Structure 1
């Protein structure tokens, strides 16, 4: 089953011609023919059979094999991918039907659902895709990585000091796009026998967009608490929800002339961890109770956090991409981190940003949260600006996107040159047409 949606860009004429040919074939063919399977027009048992010898226009595959609750990893890349699509045809490849349906509502980029491994192999072998992008390290990525003629590039879904940001899986990709010097140092410190030349610093293209805050006007101060989720295992658990969450919210709510924005990680809302789920409900109750007395606090479960940042004066968060994104966009505004492991020395080493902001842990939380005003003034704008450069380089708005697009251009150009050198002069679809 495959679904394509057309975006009106430079190469859309070719896509429309292709879709018209397939629709015509589907209408004139008997049920069960290959074209009906590709377009998802046949019955379900037929729609999942082999899908070779159907040309799909495009140069860049964006491979996403995960389930719906990880959709946020790809969502943040959509505007940048739509920019890339104007220069190199982009096709989103999904392995889960609910995920495909979700992205139908979010973008007009062409989309393909591929159920089986042999169908994926046929899709790659028959078409002239040059490069494949990955926004995570999903287990099924290795099925896509089997394609030998593609340049495989890991672009991740954020810049973070979490342990999950660096693993030996990085060695599987031809290139790994990272934000800046901090990520390079992170890979060098953690991985053995890793070729640092695989790393390409491009900044954070997702942060180049212009956002308009969805928050209504407010005359006082706005402070956000944006905790991460509990991770897939204890080593990747950085959440403050179960330890400090309610106390942080109560301290913020007690501040005069202050609006509190509670923006939990999407997976906090659906967490199966009892303590995290209970903390989430309690925080919502505290904010609702305060609002019933005339406050204007906001529980923002689905809003774009980058847009929310535009109306936020200070941020409380955990070790995650959220704090670093805020640092990049607003280094002049206070940032406060949490440390559930009560090891500030280790945190300073593993998450250098912690050296440029106050850190709440078990020994310090009572004193810190008793005087939030002093807490927010504990570090300087200059120290945050220096840390911003360490994580993202000295890039101004728009430069990350330009670096991303130009690097993709170079990789595609180099790969095409290599393919021609080894005798792959035409794409498989054109060759098939010539043989007919």
Structure 2
């Protein structure tokens, strides 16, 4: 494995033209003023009660993307045992929800000035980002910290290697596959910007949620991703193969289906995926009227549904790679909506250790699932690929991540001293 070092709506005054309009606007303005007052109270940047807090986890998005930071909370809580850490948000609802899910202090800062003031008050030295949200760039204005991007999963999606990575001082990646992915996709990104840490999120145990399958019944998890922000980032199988995959599993009396799509599928952000999702839900509900055993744990964490699964059918996404790491003994079937096996294996090396559902193989999904359950023909190759993607045993990733945080703090302090003595 190559050594990759890790250095250094405002309230407005309406002018009405009729008494009725004045009354209506008066009620509306009162509601807006109350809402603004609530926001102002929650967004106080007086964080002095927290004292010096060298590590800040920044999350600027709304609740729809809370899953992105949620998987990092156990990691941040572990870091906080060594270095004080707080979570800084930009949305009031997000802030309230996070306070219910973590013991970490959560600070709400609406304006850019609030963000910068909070960083100054706690003397932030390392700011950690779990996504590429647009509001990240307001936080990046702060000059006295190192900015570290950790993303919210290890995936072969093209979105994992955006040029936005160049905005950060460090980019945390899982292993060799991620280093190669960045080299292949980007120009002018030095290797020393990449910090290889494995997947510290996977070091933390998650309580399983699946009940035991009936005797003699094996469990197939179908976990499709969403349709992405644009066509290049669309890896979902839902609208093309979802109905065939689900029907294939439901047709076998000795198989149990667990259907757990990406949260943005459940929210119905894409019309084609929303229609396909409703169709699958209807199929599963109909099948359960005959035999109540198929499951749809939409609101449980993906990691919580891995235990008890005998085979995973998934798309190019972090779910497949997390499963590869945590359940290397269980086969994976990957999908490819573009039906380009050469490109798929280049961009997603995990496909070299799986059967693939695409336009040429979709009619034999039932046979593909049965062969993998009975013979598991790719087991040895999956073991090699697991090392290629991750390269660490469990708990080593957490150690490496903590070491990275400490190194960044030390480097930041040295750089600030050097600057201030010039």
Give me the TM-score of the superposition, normalised by structure 2: 0.87
Look up the match of 2:88.
93
- In the superposition, relative to structure 1, how do residues 383 and 49 fare at CA in structure 2: closer, same or farther (>3 Å)? closer
Matched, 1:216 2:214: no
Q: How many residue pairs end up in the alignment?
A: 384
8 A Cα contact 1:211 1:310, kept in partner: no
| Structure 1 residue 187: Cα displacement | 0.5
8 A Cα contact 1:231 1:237, kept in partner: yes
Gaps of 5+ in 2: 1-33
CA offsets 1:89-119 (integer angstroms, 9 cap, x no match): 1110000111111112111110111011112
Matched, 1:147 2:142: yes
Q: 1 CA distance for matches of 2:218 and 2:227?
A: 29
CA offsets 1:123-145 (integer angstroms, 9 cap, x no match): 22343111000000111111111
Look up the match of 2:274.
277
2:158 to 163, 178, 186: 163
| Structure 1 residue 50: Cα displacement | 8.0
2:107 to 107, 112, 115: 112
Look up the match of 2:321.
324
Look up the match of 2:12.
none
CA offsets 1:160-199 (integer angstroms, 9 cap, x no match): 0001000111111000000000000010011111111100
Gaps of 5+ in 1: 1-39, 425-436
Q: 1 CA distance for matches of 2:44 and 2:219?
A: 55
Matched, 1:312 2:314: no
Matched, 1:74 2:77: no
Look up the match of 1:36.
none
CA offsets 1:244-276 (integer angstroms, 9 cap, x no match): 111101101112321110001000001232221
Q: Secondary structure at the match of 2:220?
A: strand
Give me the TM-score of the superposition, normalised by structure 1: 0.84
Look up the match of 2:259.
262
Q: 2 CA distance for matches of 1:127 and 1:308?
A: 38
Look up the match of 1:339.
336
8 A Cα contact 1:368 1:375, kept in partner: no
Higher relative contact order (CA 8 A, sep 6+): 2
Q: 1 CA distance for matches of 2:218 and 2:39?
A: 58
Look up the match of 2:229.
232
Q: 2 CA distance for matches of 1:371 and 1:127?
A: 55
Q: Secondary structure at the match of 2:101?
A: coil
Q: 2 CA distance for matches of 1:136 and 1:280?
A: 26
Look up the match of 1:374.
371
- In the superposition, relative to structure 1, how do residues 282 and 418 fare at CA in structure 2: closer, same or farther (>3 Å)? same
Matched, 1:388 2:383: no
Q: 1 CA distance for matches of 2:154 and 2:366?
A: 28
Look up the match of 1:360.
357
Q: 2 CA distance for matches of 1:46 and 1:402?
A: 39
Q: Secondary structure at the match of 2:171?
A: strand
Matched, 1:248 2:245: yes
Q: 2 CA distance for matches of 1:45 and 1:95?
A: 10
Matched, 1:190 2:190: no
8 A Cα contact 1:55 1:127, kept in partner: no
8 A Cα contact 1:230 1:237, kept in partner: yes
| Structure 1 residue 288: Cα displacement | 1.3
Look up the match of 1:136.
131
| Structure 1 residue 396: Cα displacement | 1.2
Look up the match of 1:124.
119
8 A Cα contact 1:56 1:127, kept in partner: yes
8 A Cα contact 2:60 2:136, kept in partner: yes
Look up the match of 2:97.
102
Look up the match of 1:63.
58
Q: 2 CA distance for matches of 1:137 and 1:83?
A: 23
| Structure 1 residue 43: Cα displacement | 3.8
Q: 2 CA distance for matches of 1:125 and 1:160?
A: 34
Q: 1 CA distance for matches of 2:280 and 2:120?
A: 52
| Structure 1 residue 294: Cα displacement | 1.8
Bigger mean CA offset, 261-270 vs 378-387: 378-387
Q: 1 CA distance for matches of 2:176 and 2:113?
A: 39
Q: 2 CA distance for matches of 1:270 and 1:60?
A: 33
Q: 1 CA distance for matches of 2:266 and 2:88?
A: 27
Q: 2 CA distance for matches of 1:289 and 1:229?
A: 24
8 A Cα contact 2:248 2:365, kept in partner: no
Look up the match of 2:21.
none
Q: Secondary structure at the match of 1:197?
A: helix
